[in-house]
Structures are given as structure tokens and as C-alpha cells.
Amino acid sequence: MSILGNILGVRMNLLIGPSPVALPAPMEMLLAIDEIEILLSDSAESGFKMVLNTGRSGPFDFLEAPFVADPRLQVGARVIVTMFFDFTPNVIFDGLVTKRHYAPGEEARSGKLTLLGRDLSFELDREEKRTEHPAMDETMIATLIGISYPQFGMLPMVLPPKVVDPPIPIDRVPQQNCSDWAYLKHMARRHGYETYVDPGPLPGMNLLYWGPPVRPGIPQRAMTVNSGPASDAYDIDIAHSGEELTVVESSVIDRFTGVETPVLALVNSQSPLGAVPESVVRFGQTRSKSILTSGLNMAQAMARAQAEVDESARDVIRVTGTLDSTRYNGALKARDRIDLRGVGLTYDGAYKVAEVRHRIKPGGYEQGFVLRRSETLPLSPLVRAQ
């Protein structure tokens, strides 16, 4: 599959097979693909849809339409999609088929086989466990879970939270009564963290991330709008809202000392992506709430209060649009940082890529995106081009 627009075009590579195996798809399967849609999101389940043309076309298809009984396309199959821009591979999805829909059609070659699936977080969510993690804090538990899935090439990237409270076995022992995925998300919410499985950098490899909402590292190539031939994004819409901004005012009776202490969290504490935080501009005009603090010590209560405030500020500025894949010459990585240029001083600058929707068809590939941050104005007056 290729699209003219850069030197060697944009090409797709598909690996598929009974999990955890994924082998190159044969040419007849690639030619039968009608469309592939992949959603990667920091707030919704990430997954994919692949539609294949599978109508009967000759005497050899009398018993069964093509691909319907193919063992590589059954529920539970592993699917890895890689886009090549010139020589550069971008692994955009690694996941499992969870559902199939088959429509035989009324005419020759009109049948459709649709595969629906989830990313590899589905595998971590498959088994509910009852286990203990003695003398292990959240950082150690997340790392242990990350290395428990070597068959999927899983490597953990676990970043310690601001407040670490190692459990003393004679005081408490962390109890897990749910799946690994549910427990990772539960621990992450306590600190305003996120957890997800990021495919790549090579097919068959995956990174289990547990850390701050904006992953540290080098930003992606900048996205440009309203700049004539240099533009690579269009249909831009910017929504600016502060109605969800929250402050937390509560108190806690420390379980160690028995002393009642106020718990306050007033402004967003995440690393800023812009120069002027909305939580500071609107200070005193935001919602106020309290949190349950029974059974917590002071450090734990403060961490949970700050997580509530940080969560309320995550979607203050929301940018939606569509990326021209050939002009941009790359695939957006959901949940990573990117610079936006050309929309004006107020909204130029760095954002987190909150969602990417890849739409792949024979002869076409576009990427719909959602960016978000909680500040206005760029950190630097000159937003880099590359």
C-alpha cells in the first residue's frame, strides 16, 4: 500500500497470527483490505477495526468465503500494524482481535469480514488476581507487572511519583483483588499518573508506561497550520474551557500521629506545556471539593488531593484536527508531546497528543487528532519547526 507524496511513499506492513505469534500477512490478504481504523487514546480504550473484502468469487469458494476460516484471523489473533515513511518504521498498533463480524453480501465479492480488537492492555486485563505485594510501593509493583509479559516483548517504563510511601509489612500490605491492568490504573489515579501500553519501537516490542500524563522525552516533529505550502494539518478547532477546574480543601487525621491536618491542593502541579496556567488565571473562581481521607497519612492525602486538581485541569484547552500524513511524513504518537505552529500566540506551543485516529485505505492515509494542555501562550515566543 503506497501513497505518493514523499520520495518512497507511505507503506503499510501488517503482521498477524495466533497470539502471541504475529507473522507477515500474505499478499492476497493485504489486497483484500478495505480499510483499517486505529484509535489510540489517553482517556478511552485503544483499539482497531479492520475490514476485508471476502465475497465468494469462484468454484473454490463454494464451501467457505475467503479468510472466514483462516486461523490467522480468528478471535485472539495478534495484530501489529507498522507504517513506513520512506525508510522509517512507525509501529502504530499492537493488539488482539476480540470480536469478528461477517456479512456474506448479496452479490459476488460483496462480503465483508470485520475484525475488532483492543491494544495489549486487554491481555493485562484478562485475569483477575488475588495477591499481595508485601513491602512493595507502587513503583515496584508497576515494574513487577511490566516484566510479567515477556511473550509480548513488554518492557516497563515506571517513573516514581512525587510522594512515595513504602509499606511496612507490620503496618499494611498492598492487596490486589483485580486484574493487573485495573490495579495499574488504580495505583496511577492516586498520583495523577497514567498507564498505557505503547507499541514499538520495533514490531513485536512494547513499552508499559506508568508515570506523569506527559511522558518526558524529545517532542515529535512540530505540526503546522495556516502557513501555505508549509502546512500539514487542517480542519483545526480549538475549545477553551475552565468549568472543570477544581481545588481541594479537606483535612486528614494522620493514621500515624492522630493529629488532624488541613489538606489543600489549589493549582495544577504537572509540568507546564504553556506559559500561563489557567488554574492560576482563574484562581478563586473554580469549584471546590473535599476528598475522603480516612485511613490515610498526611503524605497520601496530599498526593490524592493533588491528583484530583491535576485531573480537573487536563482538558482546559482542546485542539482537534486532521493531519496530512504525506506532508507531515510521519505517524503521530498518542500521549507524547508535540508543538503546534500557526494558530496564533495564544494557542501556539507545546501540547500533549491525547488521541490519534489512524484511517488507512488503499491509496489513502489520514490521521485525526486531539491535543490538550492547561495553559495559554507558548513557553518560547518562537515555536520550533522541526
Answer yes or no: is pLDDT of 345 > 70.
yes
Nearest of 338, 336, 333, 334 to residue 348 by alpha carbon: 338
The owner of cell 517504563 is 157
Average pLDDT over residues 8-30: 91
Are 100 and 141 contained in the same domain?
no
Question: pLDDT band at 149, cuts 50/70/90?
Answer: very high
pLDDT at 343: 93
How many residues can be counted in the chain?
A: 386
Domain that holds residue 100: 10-118
Are 60 and 86 contained in the same domain?
yes
Are 259 and 151 contained in the same domain?
no
Q: Is residue 75 part of a domain?
A: yes
Are 230 and 258 contained in the same domain?
no
pLDDT at 7: 59
The CATH number linked to 331 is 2.40.30
Q: Give me the number of domains the chain comprises.
A: 4
Q: Is residue 217 part of a domain?
A: no
Q: Is residue 5 part of a domain?
A: no
Are 301 and 322 contained in the same domain?
no
Q: How far is CA 189 from CA 192, 194, 270, in A?
A: 5, 7, 14
* Model pLDDT for residues 92-115, shown as the tens digit of each residue: 999 999 999 999 877 766 789 999
Are 231 and 371 contained in the same domain?
yes
Listing DSSP states for 206-259 in one string gives EEEEEE-SS--SPPPPPEE-SSGGG--EEEEEEEE--TT-EEEEEEEE-TTT--
* Model pLDDT for residues 196-206, shown as the tens digit of each residue: 999 999 999 99
Are 230 and 366 contained in the same domain?
yes
Rounded to whole angstroms, the Cα distance separating 205 from 202 reads 6
pTM tops 0.75: yes
Are 189 and 270 contained in the same domain?
no
Question: pLDDT band at 313, cuts 50/70/90?
Answer: confident
Are 113 and 230 contained in the same domain?
no
Q: Final residue of a domain: which of 272, 290, 312?
A: 312
* Model pLDDT for residues 199-255, shown as the tens digit of each residue: 999 999 999 999 998 888 888 999 999 888 889 999 999 999 878 889 999 988 877
Rounded to whole angstroms, the Cα distance separating 38 from 49 reads 6
Which amino acid is located at 363 in the chain? G
Are 234 and 366 contained in the same domain?
yes
Q: What is the mean pLDDT of the chain?
A: 89
Q: Final residue of a domain: which of 278, 312, 346?
A: 312
For residue 167, give every residue at least 6 positions away whose Cβ sits within 8 Å of its Cβ, in sequence order, or none.
134, 135, 136, 137, 173, 174
* Model pLDDT for residues 175-198, shown as the tens digit of each residue: 999 999 999 999 998 888 999 999
pLDDT at 286: 85
Are 303 and 266 contained in the same domain?
yes
pLDDT at 3: 41
Are 25 and 169 contained in the same domain?
no
pLDDT at 326: 86
pLDDT at 254: 78
